Amino acid sequence: MNPFPWTAPVDHAAVLIVALAIDRYVGEPPVRIHPVVWMGTAIGWARDRAPSGQVARFLYGLGMAVGLPALFAGVLTMPATVPWLGPVYTIWLITSCFAARGLVNAGRRLAGHVDADELSEARAALGWLCSRDASSLDYTALSAAATESVVENASDSVVAPMFWYALGGLPGLVAYRCVNTLDAMVGYRGKYEWLGKGSARLDDLLNLLPARLTAVGLLAMGWLVPGCSPARGFRVLLSDRNQTSSPNAGWPMAATAGLLGVELAKAGHYTLGRGLNPASAETLRTACRLSDWTMTGAVLALVVTFVGAAVVM
């Protein structure tokens, strides 16, 4: 199977549909055969051997940010071209680069703990969604943080992978997922700040358009989800999208704050939708539905595009 979808768009449309169904009804592959886990292992190995000194660490990290995605894009793409094996392998690879089911289920799980008045369990559940310290967060703050993560990660989990798959085929998809994993492991301020600067900036660049497309997708799905206000979502998006330190995260988060009519805040950093209602388990579940439908819509939109391209060709 050719790894570049525009050479065989109908084949890739079929593969996408199967991969989406597997992610939705089965979930991600086991850890032992999960390529993103392999990426994480390689990143951890390289990270632990980084030199000391700011300049040396920056240059080493830049090499990681470029070299590891290129390596995995090449190695993981090659089996897709093997006759008969190619389609099955491609389905496995695309499914592995999705994370829709896990993301939405984590949000719904936290909402369930909030409803059940299980504060310690709800704080622990937030760890499946983001790295924020939950030790002092109440139910409102936990619901807000989970809402932010569920909609922001709709881009990382599906929209951005589909965007780079459309532009660069399987190599683009794999390279994006590796950069995103690098950012998650070394891209934060603190111990790995100089080591992860290259990965963090590259991840920002690769998510520039997908994050904005995700915000548009959330607003579009807001017309279909009861209790949402796309008009208010658009207003809050325009006013608050640039409040976050990330050039991308504020777009889907601000749109969702307006859609749901809730205030989403991180103390000392930003407040999106200031003065709106507090977040709750109910609004978190609505955010999960919005995120789920946006991710599904992104895949189906690409399927339709592939089929349309085949007709035109």
Per-residue pLDDT of 86-98, as tens digits, reads 999 999 999 999 8
pLDDT of residue 41: 97
Q: For 38-42, 73-77, 130-134, 299-303, which range has the lowest pLDDT when averaged over its residues?
A: 130-134
pLDDT at residue 172 tops 80: yes
Q: Which of 13-17, 130-134, 161-165, 178-182 has the lowest mean pLDDT?
A: 130-134
What is the DSSP code (8-state) at residue 131? -
Q: What mean pLDDT comes out for the span 33-45? A: 96
More confident residue, 241 or 268: 241
What's the confidence (pLDDT) of residue 92?
Answer: 96
Region 270-276 average pLDDT: 96
187 pLDDT more than 90: no
CB atoms < 10 A from the CB of 41, how many? 10
Name the average pLDDT for the chain.
95
Q: How many CB atoms are located within 10 Å of the residue 174 CB?
A: 31
The pLDDT of residue 313 is above 80 = no
pLDDT for 131 beyond 90? no
Tokens, residue 130: 């983001």
CA angle in degrees (0–180, nearest 5) for 224-28-44: 120
What pLDDT does residue 240 have? 97
Q: Give the mean pLDDT of 234-256.
A: 97
pLDDT band for 188, please (50, 70, 90 cuts). Answer: confident
What's the full length of the chain, in residues?
A: 313
What is the distance between the terminal CA atoms of the chain, rounded to a whole angstrom? 18
Per-residue confidence band for 267, with pLDDT thresholds at 50, 70 and 90? confident
User: What pLDDT shows up at residue 77?
Assistant: 96
Give the pLDDT confidence score for residue 296 in this predicted structure. Answer: 96
Of the pLDDT bands very low, low, confident and very high (cuts 50, 70, 90), residue 164 is very high
Q: Residue 245's CB: how many other CB atoms inside 10 A?
A: 10
pLDDT at 252 over 80: yes
Confidence of residue 200 (pLDDT cuts 50, 70, 90): very high
pLDDT reading at 32 higher than 80: yes
* pLDDT given for residue 99 in this prediction: 85
Average the pLDDT over 244-273 and give the result: 96
pLDDT at 185: 93
Q: Is the dihedral of CA 198, 66, 205, 40 positive or negative?
A: negative
Q: What is the mean pLDDT of residues 177-195?
A: 91
